[in-house]
Each structure stands twice: as C-alpha cells, then as structure tokens.
Chains A and B, each alone.
Chain A
Amino acid sequence: MGLKIFLISIKMVIVTCIFGFGMVLSGCAPAVMRPSPEVYRETPRESDEFEKNAEKPGFSPRALAALQLTEQGRIFLENNQPDDAIGILERALNLNPNNGRNYYYLAEAWLMKWNIGLATEFNRLAEIYLNDDSEWLSRVILQRERIKERDQ
C-alpha cells in the first residue's frame, strides 16, 4: 500500500514538472516580438522635433509635415502595431526621404515582425541618414546589435 502511494506521488511530481516546464517554455516564446519599452522611451517624440524644427529656416514645410507622420508611426510602434506603423512610415518616407528616423522606426517595425532581412536593410539606411547625429547614431548601433541578437 505504502509503495503504491509512493509510486503515485512520484508520477504526480513528474507530471507536474513536465507541465510546469511546458508552461515556462510557452512563456519564453512570444507570438509577436515586443521591443523593449526603453527603445521608445529613449527616442524623442516627433512632435517635440516638430516644435523644435518648425522655427528653423532651412527646414522645409514638407519635412515638417512628414514629422507628423513619423510621430504617428512611432505611436503605432509603441502600441505594438508594426503593420500600421509601416504603412504610415512609408508615407513619411515618401514625403521626406532624408529623415533617418523613418528608417530607424521602419527597422524597428520589421524587427517586431521578425523580418531580420528588412530590419537590417532599414537599419543600414538609418545609419546613412543619421551618421551626423551622434545621439541617434548610437541608437542605430544599438538597434543593429539587437537585430544581430535576434538573428542568432
């Protein structure tokens, strides 16, 4: 009788362990990749950029309008909506192809969608347009490292 109870207890422990391990594993595999929230907390709001640049003489109205779209794209990313973000960031890119932040956010969106190839491509473009902005360049480099990490 004692042996029976002992065997049942052992079985229960094994089942519990397998179940628990499964639960832990499922928790480790997110369905959609979420970037670390710091990525967005660190990046300035594009509306701030808009206010900062609105007074600058060389800043074209077109570029200013594009910033509004970039901000909308950033918010979509914040809300974990990469597809919506991509749609709006593409429009921003068409309006102002020289804003490197569009490429940065596009890389971020594609990273969320697990498309490492496109994330790498947009990260490369971001670097071209942000290489004279040390603050943003460091973000681009960190992003590249994150892309590499995810690729492994």
Chain B
Amino acid sequence: MTKNKRSINMTLKRLLKWYLPTIVLICGIMLVYCWYLSIQIDKRFSGRRWSIPSKVYSDTTILYPGQKTNRTLFNEKLRRLGYREVAHKPVNKGELNRSASFVQLYLHDFIVPSRYKEGIPVQIIFDENRIGSITNLNTGQLLPILELEPEEVMLFFGSNRERRQLISIDQVSQHLIYAVLAAEDCRFYTHKGLDPKGILRAIYTNLRHASIRQGGSTITQQLAKNYFLTPKRTFIRKLKELFMSLTIEVRYEKNEILEIYLNEIYLGQKASEAINGIGEASFFYFGRPVSNLSLVEAATLAGLIRGPNHYSPYIDKDRCQKRRNMVLNAMYEQGWISDEELKMALPLPVEAVGYASYGKKAPYFMDYLSEQLTVLYPPQDLSSLGLSIYTTLDTQVQMAAENALKRGLDSLEKSNPELHRTDPQKQLQGAVIVMQPKTGYVLAMVGGRNYSASQFNRITQARRQPGSAFKPFVYLTGLDKFTPASILSNESRIYEIDGKEWMPQNYAPMTEERVRMRDALARSINLATVDLAMQVGLDQIISTVGKFGFSTPLKPYPSIALGSFEVIPLELARAYCPFAADGVLSYPLALKEVLDENDVVMERRHMSIKQVTTPEKAFIMSSLLKSVVENGTATSLKEMGIAFPVAGKTGTTSDYRDAWFVGYTPDILALIWVGFDDGASIYASGSKAALPIWAGLMNALPQYVSEGWFRMPSGVAKRVVCSESGQLAVEDRCPHPLEEYFLANHVPTDHCRIHGDGESFGRIIDGIKDFFNKH
C-alpha cells in the first residue's frame, strides 16, 4: 500500500516535473502563436482588405426630344448598360419594356462626379428615327433632357481577375443574413469560432452516408481559410485555421466578421473573371444592389456559397432551385421565415438576370487612356484601389466607327482581290478617330482592324504621309496674301530641292492654266497648291503649321505643300479642329475624371484650348473645305447619303500608299486612314477608300449631326466676284459671277478687268472710286 502510494507520488512528481511544464510550454507557444496570428490578422484587416480593380467608364449619354437616333445602336447600348427586358411596364430599376414606337425604362441610379441621379421610370416615344418625347412615368412630366449612366468599359484587373463590389453589413437585408447563416453556419452568433455541435453533426452525417456530405466549418473558419490560407487539405492547415478562427473571434465583432466574409466569398464566374463578394454577385445574378434582393434571391445567393459554379442558375436552374429550397427550408427550421413565406417561395422558379460577356471594348482607346493613367498611377494601384475612371468615350460612336471601318475594308478587299492578304499581321489596315472639335473630346478611336492580331495603334503611333490632306494648312497660310477668289497658276514647273529637280504633277491631266484658289483646294490641284506655297513662302507655311501641334519634323521643301512629311493621324485630326472651332486648337481629351472608391475626385481634366488662327480665317477655311464636298474630290458623299453640310479633305499619297479623309461639321470631326503597314499600294484614292468609311460612320450617328453650319464672323465679308478674274463682278457682263467670302481687310475693290469692257471700263470705275475716296 505504502509502496503503491509512493509509486503514485513518484508518478505525480514526474508529471509535475516534466509534463506540467511541457503543457505550460505548449500553452505558452499557442498563446504566442495566437498573438502572432492576431498581429497578422490585424495587419491584413486594418489595411486594404481586397484588391478592387479600377473601372473605366464611358461618358454619360444625353437624350432629348427631337434628337435623331440610331435605334440599333441605342438598343445595344441599353443592353450593355444591363437593362433587362420585361413584358410589362417596368417596376424595378433596370427593367425595360420595348415596342416599335416606345421604350419604357426604369433607370438605374448612378453617380458621376458631384452628381447623384436617382433612377426613375421613363418612357421614350419615338417618332420614326427621332425621339418624340421623354416622360417621367412617376409624375407624367415631360422631360427636356435625359442622361443615361456611364457604361463600364474596362477593368484594370490584377493577376487574380476578381470582380468585387464592397458592401457594408448595414446594406445587407435580414433575409440575406439569415439565408447565409442557414446555409453555412446557423449558430454563428452563439459560438466562438468553432462549433462542436456542428462538427459532430457533420461527422455523423458523413459517416451515415459514407461520404463527405456536410462540412463542420463555421463562417469564421471559412473566412480564415479563404482569406489567409491555401485550400490544401492538410492537418497543419486545419490547425492553423482553428487558431486563426479563435483569434479572429477574440479580436473582432460578429457583424464585422460576417461583413468581411460576405465581401470575400467566391460566388461564380463571368467568362475569365471571378465574381467575389455578395455585392458583385447580387448584380451579376439579379442585376440589383444587395439591399434590394427578395427572399428567394437571397436564398439563391446563399445556396451558391457551397458550390458557386455547380449551383449556378446560369449552369443548371433545377439544381440551383433545389439548393435554394434547401436553404429556404433551413431558414424555416430556424424560425427565420414564416410558413407562408416558405410556401410562397418554394415553387418560384429561379430567375437570373443574364449577362453578356463582351470582348475588350474600344481596345485602342483603352491603350491610349492607359498610357495617360500609368503616368498618374502605378499599375498595382490601378488594379487594387477600386478607382472609377470617367472618359469621353461614346460607346455608340465607337461601335459605329468599328463597324464602318470593318465594312469599308471588307468592301475594298472585295472590289480588289489584290488587297486581300491571309496573314492577319499583313492585312489591309485602317484607322478612325472621332472628336468633338470645340472641346477636343475623343469620342471613339479605332487604331486598327483587329486588335487581337495587332495592337499597334495607327491613330496614335503610326507616322504616315498625309498627302493632300495636308493642303488646308498651305491654303490657310495663303489667306494672309490671297483670297479664295485669287487666281493661281496651274502650269507645270520644275523646283530644285537639295540640288535635285522636282516636278510636281496633277493627279489627272488638266488643260486649265489658271485656277481659282477655292477650286484648287476643292479639286486638290497639286500644281496650283505648290504655286501658292512658293508664293507665300515655305518658312511661312512651317511657321503656321507649327502652331497646330504637329510633333513630327517638317522641312521647308516645296513638296511640303503636297503633304510629303509624315504626321501622326491623331495630330492631323487635332489640327483640323481649329477650322471647326473659331480658330481654337483643343488638346485631345480622353480622360475626364478619376474618383477613389469613396467617390472623392482625385484627378480632373478639362478641355484645354489655345488660339492658333483667327475665327475669320477658320470660317473661310471651312467654307473652302465645304467646296471639297460640294464641288471637289469628295462630291460622292452626297451619293452615300450625306445630305447635311460637311467640310473635309481627301488625301492620297504617292503610289496610293495612303488614303485619307478628314471631314467635319460644327459638331463632330472624324479622320479616316486606310493603308498597309508595310507601305504597299492600296490602288485607291482617299475618295474611293476612306470617304465611304466616313460616310458609313456618319450615317450611323444621326444624333451627332445638327445639320447646321458655322456662323459668319463679323470680320468676314461676302462679295459677288467674277469666276475668271477673281475681281468684283460687273453686273450683266461677267458670265459666271460667284459669291465669295473675304477677310474684311482683303475684300476686293477692283472690278473685273476681263469682262468690264477692257481698260476703258476699268479706268471709269477706278476714276469713280478715286472721286469718292477723295471726297
């Protein structure tokens, strides 16, 4: 007995000596580990919890009664904005009811800098291709203007390609919270991170079915696993998960844990993009914010957590419904929904809003924008800070430009099989840029035919000879000495450049030896243009052109008059803007605003302008360039359905390497270029290759055409002149009198000496003039 007692005492002593310190040591290590974990958790939770990709948006769309519309592009736009068709009058935001003569829309809410627009139901009635009226369906009030929200165009993803919209727990409806708890962890608010009951029940269920049917992980454990650990199923990982859950529970409130969990969970896939968090999923599956989800929608989302792609309504609606009903039953069992609610919800079908997965939209525009953004923000910020980036892009114009270019190039290849090349890298190329000349807003940019085959942006990166599209700058310089009625020589001459002879030639043989300046530009006559350039001085031309923002070098050679120096297409388009903007050059504007995730403005850009020529000269240039369309090389625009006034200039370079057309109205300017990257001939002029693309583009954009023309500035005078002499016409004597515009200081004072009865008549007129001048 004593021996036994001694033996027990020895054992106890041994225990105390060895095991107790071991246990204390283990406990200490565990505490230190938990302390270490808590530091790790705090570090992650107190900083930026998630990388949210920055979103790039188009500009808002303005609609107003009387506006012409392209219904196809408009309907596409509504679809891209996520409006879903219903067969009744819209009652929820994002619903759309359409007929041949009207569209009823329940607008989404949206925020743009300093403006929050709450969605209202509206009806847009169409009168053929025009908007007849816009009515607020809530009040019956007619609206003079309506603004549609900006369209999401691109996301700056990090390596994970995760979409996520953060929500706060206050935004989440009680139904959704109960649904998530019922589906994942119904004792969440009572346990301390671990749920022994849940674990036992899971073991029992899994043993009974001899398979893994139920998991015992609590929401906190899932959060620890998803947020901090790898998905590997190892004992060590499970142990870590356990410690982390306990630590999270000690350090954070239950609602805080639930909020992080709801923002963290993976809930499906949109093409290559992962849908994460309940906020994003709510829009992805039901097209509405999380606060507006119904009971069945909440239960559907909660059901997805277990297997987002397995139970996805986009993959198997029946399976999704079964899972949803399981969640609903679990909610009922917990007493979180009533008997009636359950009975009403169970038979309802699963209805997801649907989604369209688009390829990269406006890719060349986005590259152009990215270049500007990366100067402001490093790439990791763009892929993590959740910035909202607003641009000048108009997706309807972009689509029209892409379609017009595609159709134009296809048609060229069809008409001339020699242009067809099978290698996509060597294909016939084209480029389009559309701008608003007054403000420099870039509405659309197509830098090539196929972005996936070639990312080279021919609008911003290419350097090509502009050919005759450069001539307007020669004529603008000429306005200092000449008038549109001045007569230029069209005779062939030899010029010397760097010791070599250069003899320019006209595009087609001409018999006229003298031409009016207006005709010379309208018909793109080379000899007359070189004559003008030599008379005004090449240095003078370079000095004028220098103000128009060309960055490429220009040399004072006579061939400059015919556009022999390379330009960047974007700069050429920009250089035409002052003609349409009272002589004011605007900087091309693509980026408007950058907002942080709290909608605080971080960057804002406005139109930037400077005067490069006078409004009077700009007006006369527009008038001269209008003649190109009315009587010159671009007259075929009329046959292509362009019935409104347009100013523009075609361009063709040697051996038909480049074809250009730059055309504008007071509202819009578009440049088209067609050619091969390797400089091969396209066997077509600007009027054959580029002009039809311009016409196709403008015909698709009736909303941008006001059909108006420029107002004549007070410093411009209109006179009737003789077409042959360019002097004031003598009534009933000059056979072809014409109305012509003049700068106020260049108004002709002499009467026609050709038809004015020779020298004697001229002398009489001059005598009368002298008499009045003296008195």
A interacts with B? yes
Interface residues of A (CB under 8 A from B): 50, 60-62, 64-65, 68-69, 76, 81, 83-84, 86-87, 90-91, 93-98, 118, 121, 124-125, 128-129, 131
Instruction: Kindly state whether residue B711 has any CB partner on chain A within 8 Å.
Output: yes
Query: What's the Cα separation between A84 and B713 when bound, in Å?
Result: 30
Q: A61-B66, A87-B114 are in contact. List 18 more A-B contacts (CB 8 A).
A: A50-B144, A60-B66, A61-B64, A61-B65, A65-B145, A68-B64, A68-B144, A83-B604, A84-B115, A86-B606, A87-B592, A90-B607, A91-B62, A94-B436, A95-B62, A97-B581, A98-B666, A128-B615
- B714 contact set on A, CB distance < 8 A: 131
* Contact yes or no, B439 A121, CB < 8 A: no
* Contact yes or no, B706 A64, CB < 8 A: no
- B64 contact set on A, CB distance < 8 A: 61-62, 64-65, 68
* Contact yes or no, B145 A90, CB < 8 A: no
Chain A binding surface, main DSSP class:
helix
Cross-chain pairs A/B with CB under 8 angstroms, 13 sampled: A64-B64, A65-B67, A68-B145, A83-B114, A84-B114, A90-B439, A93-B439, A94-B667, A95-B62, A96-B706, A98-B711, A121-B610, A128-B582
Shortest Cβ distance from B393 into chain A, in angstroms?
A: 14
Which residues of chain B from 37 to 51 have a CB within 8 Å of any chain A CB?
Answer: none
Instruction: Kindly state whether residue B438 has any CB partner on chain A within 8 Å.
Output: yes
Interface residues of B (CB under 8 A from A): 62, 64-67, 113-115, 144-145, 436, 438-439, 441, 581-582, 584, 592-593, 601, 604, 606-611, 615, 666-667, 706, 708, 711, 713-714
* Contact yes or no, A129 B711, CB < 8 A: yes
Q: Looking at the complex, which one of B584, B606, B609, B711 makes contact with A87 (CB distance below 8 Å)?
A: B606
- B114 contact set on A, CB distance < 8 A: 76, 81, 83-84, 87
- A61 contact set on B, CB distance < 8 A: 64-67
Shortest Cβ distance from A115 into chain B, in angstroms?
A: 9
A94-B438 contact in complex given A65-B67, A87-B606, A128-B582, C-beta closer than 8 Å: yes
Shortest Cβ distance from A99 into chain B, in angstroms?
A: 11
Query: What's the Cα separation between A114 and B708 when bound, in Å?
Result: 35
Query: What's the Cα separation between A60 and B433 when bound, in Å?
Result: 27
* Contact yes or no, B62 A125, CB < 8 A: no
- A81 contact set on B, CB distance < 8 A: 114
- A83 contact set on B, CB distance < 8 A: 114, 601, 604, 606
Query: What's the Cα separation between A93 and B581 when bound, in Å?
Result: 11
Shortest Cβ distance from B622 into chain A, in angstroms?
A: 12
**Nearest-neighbor residue (CB-CB) of A81 within chain B:** B114
Query: What's the Cα separation between A60 and B601 when bound, in Å?
Result: 35
**Nearest-neighbor residue (CB-CB) of B441 within chain A:** A94
* Contact yes or no, B713 A128, CB < 8 A: yes
**Nearest-neighbor residue (CB-CB) of A109 within chain B:** B606
Shortest Cβ distance from B606 into chain A, in angstroms?
A: 5
Query: What's the Cα separation between A131 and B62 when bound, in Å?
Result: 29
* Contact yes or no, B113 A84, CB < 8 A: yes
Query: What's the Cα separation between A97 and B713 when bound, in Å?
Result: 14
* Contact yes or no, A97 B438, CB < 8 A: yes
**Nearest-neighbor residue (CB-CB) of A88 within chain B:** B115
- A118 contact set on B, CB distance < 8 A: 608-609
Query: What's the Cα separation between A91 and B593 when bound, in Å?
Result: 14
Query: What's the Cα separation between A93 and B437 when bound, in Å?
Result: 10
